[in-house]
């Protein structure tokens, strides 16, 4: 735990694997930039690994004012105990006021371990962050310029805003895809601060025996058009309709959790609270009832078309174009119309 | 030799069945209207512990923290096959965030000194996935998160396969260690009917006391003694039993505070009804081209 430190910097954890930065870390830089400007403090990235100093330049282009660089052979592979130890040491030394992590599998493994060691608060899976003040009603005491950590809870049924005013740093993990990627500026440079790292083999609690990681099969976040199917599509064969419509629009196929669980399509395509959050120009929801967990991942799309045979389906509450009808008839009509006009 | 496993379980509102009435008008959650269930991934953690016991011997203890009503998930733990159930309940636990919760639970785990601590990856009410790693840190244990398969247990070494979403990783750790288990790890077994009937009457002392309020002739001590001899007394620990440092418990021990709670209002958007006919759809596609959404 560190004391409240209004001069403290805004930090983001720059997650890298095998010398590549995660998109989420770059997204954090865009939000971190806003927060740092409002608080009039520098934005810094915390980068750990082995022989990864080349990433400092990229972090600068994406908005970091500083990079705290910790390089050590024992940091080559991410491991929670060694990484948490190094980050805890940096927080103790430099006393940032805010520390953000991507809510990736790695970030959600690491951040709670750091929070526990620092006896600091941590809010999971934030969908927005703002700066604001908090008043304790009983005493009238007001805390200015706090990090408002905004997240869905209770399965997406409520939105909670969490703060920590007395024990810092204010830490949060941020959901992937909810912050826009910043546009890199090749003229920006970050000041690199090399940190000494003291680690021994005993700081690695796990032995990594083997690993198999693959790139996601689809990049939903980058798609301008997403055509998503739900359980109402009926079968894996019938999901062909979703692929066909997506293909003729140059879009990506998406799916609800129900459709993924039914085996209609791979989990990489899942949109929603437990999948990817998307905000495309056009989202076409086919045979999707619109559970709140799904809506949490797509309601910010610029245009939404919903096709469902149930006029009461909740998806229609967020749709701009409502088509009540049989998807087996409507989707081919859409394909026909698009092929003729576009 | 066998392995002593502790499984941390949570009673949660069934968020998948939340209806409009489950929210109060002030936006707070009307917990009374929500069915309380055994957190789903904690069932997977319990199943993994039971599999370890089946194969290697040892014991399974379930621990829950909460109000006396949380004894329900411990009853379920017992009838699913746990040997021992402990409820950590104390008014001073109220308003604990994940950090304070993990501190309190870690004090309980420490008393039992297990070989393996298991919990679900996350609970469906908060989805934070923080309590497992935080307990591991407090007890200075290795953490293996997102466990999908237990590959091997031999002596003091465990090998497990972690599901990282975009692939997997196989790791080895020394015991004791803490594992967080995901929903694809296993299919929780169906409880045996006889065990279920037997354990339905398991209670903790606070439950016995509450029942006795309406029946003054009931001797609480005698009932608890009887339950204990039949293996049906859910043990009850408070913060004094845990020798917990109160500065890290409850509201005082919680750095995060709630600033505001809002119920999700799905904004009604300006919307058009499109006829499910070729001409209706042609018109819609034309509009989307005109406003540069597509094309």
Check residue B28 and give its pLDDT: 57
Q: Which residue has the tokens 């600033």?
A: B259
Query: What's the CA gap between A23 and A16, in Å, rounded?
Result: 9
Which helix (H) or strand (E) covers residue B235, if one does? strand B233-237
Q: Where are the domains of chain A?
A: 10-203, 220-341
A37 touches chain B (CB under 8 A): no
Please check the confidence at residue A223 and state whether its pLDDT lies above 70: yes
| Omega cis (within 30) before A169 | yes
Q: What's the CATH fold of domain B3-248?
A: Rossmann fold (3.40.50)
| List of chain B residues whose C-beta atoms are within 8 Å of the C-beta of residue A323 | 273-276, 280-281, 284
CB count, 10 Å around CB of B1?
A: 8
| Angle between helix B40-56 and helix B71-80 axes, rounded to 10 deg | 40
Residues 124-163 of B with CB under 8 A from A: 124-134, 136-138, 142-146, 159
pLDDT at B268 over 60: no
Report the relative pairing of strands A98-102 and A122-126 from DSSP bridges. Answer: unpaired
- Which class is domain A10-203? alpha beta
The C-alpha atoms of residue A305 and residue A290 are separated, in whole angstroms, by 12
Q: Of the candidates B173, B164, B176, which has an alpha carbon nearest to the alpha carbon of residue B144?
A: B173
Residue B22 confidence (pLDDT):
62
Q: For position A275, what pLDDT does the model report? A: 81
Q: Would the CB atoms of A326 and B276 count as touching at under 8 Å? A: yes
Q: Please state, as a whole number, how many other Cβ atoms lie within 10 Å of the Cβ of residue A52.
A: 20
| CA A83 to chain CA centroid, nearest Å | 20
pLDDT band at A213 (very low <50, low <70, confident <90, very high): confident
At residue B294, the pLDDT reads 86
CA distance B114 to chain A (A): 18
Q: How far apart are CA A230 and CA A286, in angstroms?
A: 6
Question: pLDDT at position A194, please?
Answer: 98
**CA nearest to A210 within chain B:** B170
Token pair belonging to B143:
């953490």
Phi and psi based region of residue B198 (left: phi greater than 0; alpha: psi -120 to 50; beta: remaining): alpha
Nearest CA in chain B to A332: B278
Over residues A162-177, mean pLDDT: 93
Q: Which of A153-167, A285-299, B228-242 has the highest mean pLDDT?
A: B228-242
Residue-level pLDDT at A118:
97
Of B186, B193, B3, the residue nearest B79 (C-alpha): B193
Query: Average pLDDT, whole number, for chain A?
Result: 93
Whether pLDDT at A52 is above 90: yes
- How far does CA B8 lie from the centroid of its chain? 7
Confidence of residue B269 (pLDDT cuts 50, 70, 90): low
For residues A138-151, give the mean pLDDT: 95
Q: Is B240's pLDDT higher than 90? A: yes
Percent of chain B surpassing pLDDT 90: 81
Residues 260-279 of A with CB under 8 A from B: 273
For residues A15 and A302, the model is more confident at: A15
Q: Are strands B11-13 and B36-38 parallel, antiparallel or unpaired?
A: antiparallel
Residues B68-85 pLDDT 10s: 999 999 999 999 999 999
Question: Rounded to an integer, what distance in angstroms lies between the CA atom of residue A235 and that of residue A212?
Answer: 30
CB pairs under 8 A between A and B: 245
Q: What is the pLDDT of residue B266?
A: 53
* Interatomic CA distance for residues B266 and A51, integer angstroms: 47
Q: What single DSSP character describes residue B285?
A: H
pLDDT above 90 (res B24): no
**Nearest 5°: phi and psi at B14?**
-75, 90
pLDDT score for B295:
75
Confidence class of residue A49 from pLDDT cuts 50, 70 and 90?
Answer: very high
How far apart are the CA of A183 and the nearest CA of chain B, in angstroms?
A: 22
d(CA B107, CA A59): 41
Domain A220-341 annotated CATH 3.40.50.1220? yes
Give yes or no for a contact between A162 and A91, defined as CB atoms under 8 angstroms apart.
Answer: no
Give the span between the Cα atoms of B146 and A16, in whole angstroms: 20
Interface touch A120/B255, C-beta < 8 Å? yes
CB hemisphere CA count around A75 (13 angstroms): 25
pLDDT digits (tens, 9 = 90+) for A254-307: 999 999 999 999 988 999 877 888 888 899 999 999 988 899 889 888 899 999
Best residue in B23, B178, B251, B281 to probe A by mutation, most A CBs within 10 Å? B281
Q: Is the pLDDT score of A130 beyond 80?
A: yes
Phi, psi of B53 (to 5 degrees): -65, -40
Burial class (CB in 10 A: 0-12, 13-18, 19+), B138: buried
A225-238, pLDDT tens digit by residue? 999 999 999 999 99
B174 DSSP β-pair partners: B157
Of A304, A310, A226, whose CA–CA distance to A271 is shortest? A226
Judged by a CB distance cut-off of 8 A, whether residue A213 touches chain B is yes
How far apart CA B223 and CA A98 sit, in angstroms, is: 53
Q: How far is B61 from chain A (nearest CA, A)?
A: 24
Q: Residues B254-279: what's their mean pLDDT?
A: 83
pLDDT of B20 reads 57
Q: Contacts of residue B248 in chain A, CB cutoff 8 Å? A: 119
Strand order from edge to edge, sheet including A225-229: A252-255, A225-229, A282-286, A303-308, A321-324, B272-274
Q: What is the mean pLDDT of residues B93-104?
A: 96
Q: Residue B63: what pLDDT?
A: 98
Do the domains A10-203 and A220-341 sit in the same CATH topology, yes or no? yes
The pLDDT score that the predictor gives to residue A153 is 81
């Amino acid at each position: 735990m560190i004391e409240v430190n209004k001069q403290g910097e805004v930090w983001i954890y720059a997650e890298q694997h095998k010398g590549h930065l995660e998109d989420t870390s770059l997204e954090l830089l865009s939000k971190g930039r806003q927060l740092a400007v409002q608080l009039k403090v520098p934005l810094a990235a915390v980068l750990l690994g082995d022989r990864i100093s080349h990433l400092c330049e990229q972090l600068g282009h994406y908005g970091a004012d500083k990079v705290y660089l910790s390089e050590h052979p024992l940091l080559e592979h991410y491991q929670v105990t060694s990484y948490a130890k190094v980050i805890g040491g940096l927080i103790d030394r430099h006393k940032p006021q805010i520390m953000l992590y991507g809510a990736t599998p790695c970030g959600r493994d690491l951040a709670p371990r750091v929070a526990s060691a620092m006896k600091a608060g941590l809010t999971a899976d934030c969908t927005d962050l703002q700066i604001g003040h908090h008043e304790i009603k009983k005493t009238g005491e007001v805390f200015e310029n706090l990090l408002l950590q905004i997240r869905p809870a209770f399965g997406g049924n409520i939105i909670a805003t969490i703060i920590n005013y007395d024990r810092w740093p204010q830490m949060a993990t941020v959901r992937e895809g909810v912050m826009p990627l910043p546009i890199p500026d090749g003229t920006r440079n970050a000041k690199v601060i090399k940190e000494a790292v003291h680690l021994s083999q005993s700081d690695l609690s796990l032995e990594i025996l083997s690993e198999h990681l693959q790139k996601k099969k689809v990049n939903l976040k980058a798609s301008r058009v997403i055509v998503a199917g739900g359980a109402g599509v009926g079968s894996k064969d019938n999901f062909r309709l979703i692929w066909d419509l997506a293909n003729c629009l140059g879009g990506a196929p998406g799916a609800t959790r129900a459709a993924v669980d039914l085996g209609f399509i791979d989990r990489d395509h899942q949109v929603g609270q437990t999948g990817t959050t998307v905000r495309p120009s056009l989202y076409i929801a086919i045979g999707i009832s619109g559970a709140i967990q799904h809506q949490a991942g797509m309601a910010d799309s610029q245009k939404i078309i919903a096709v469902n045979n149930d006029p009461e389906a909740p998806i229609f509450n967020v749709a701009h174009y409502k088509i009540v009808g049989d998807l087996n008839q409507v989707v081919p009509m859409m394909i026909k119309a698009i092929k003729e006009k576009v | 030799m066998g392995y002593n496993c502790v499984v941390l379980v949570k009673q949660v509102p069934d968020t998948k069945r939340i209806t409009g009435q489950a929210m109060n008008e002030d936006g707070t959650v009307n917990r009374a209207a929500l069915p309380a269930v055994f957190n789903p991934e904690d069932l997977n953690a319990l199943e993994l512990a039971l599999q370890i016991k089946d194969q290697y011997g040892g014991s399974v203890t379930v621990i829950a923290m909460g109000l006396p009503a949380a004894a329900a998930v411990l009853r379920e733990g017992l009838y699913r096959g746990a040997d021992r159930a402990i409820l950590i309940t104390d008014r001073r636990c109220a308003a604990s965030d994940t950090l304070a919760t993990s501190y309190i639970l870690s004090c309980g785990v420490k008393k039992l000194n297990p070989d393996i601590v298991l919990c679900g990856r996350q609970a469906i009410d908060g989805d934070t996935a923080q309590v497992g790693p935080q307990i591991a840190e407090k007890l200075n244990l290795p953490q293996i998160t997102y466990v999908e398969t237990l590959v091997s247990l031999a002596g003091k070494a465990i090998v497990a396969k972690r599901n990282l979403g975009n692939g997997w990783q196989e790791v080895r750790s020394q015991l004791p260690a803490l594992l967080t288990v995901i929903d694809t790890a296993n299919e929780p077994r169906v409880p045996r009917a006889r065990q279920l009937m037997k354990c339905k009457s398991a209670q903790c002392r606070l439950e016995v006391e509450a029942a006795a309020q309406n029946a003054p002739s009931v001797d609480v001590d005698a009932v608890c003694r009887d339950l204990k001899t039949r293996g049906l007394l859910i043990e009850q620990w408070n913060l004094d039993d845990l020798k917990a440092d109160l500065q890290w418990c409850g509201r005082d021990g919680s750095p995060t505070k709630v600033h505001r709670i809002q119920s999700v209002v799905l904004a009604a958007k300006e919307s058009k009804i499109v006829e499910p006919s070729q001409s209706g759809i042609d018109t819609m596609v034309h509009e989307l081209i005109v406003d540069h959404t597509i094309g």
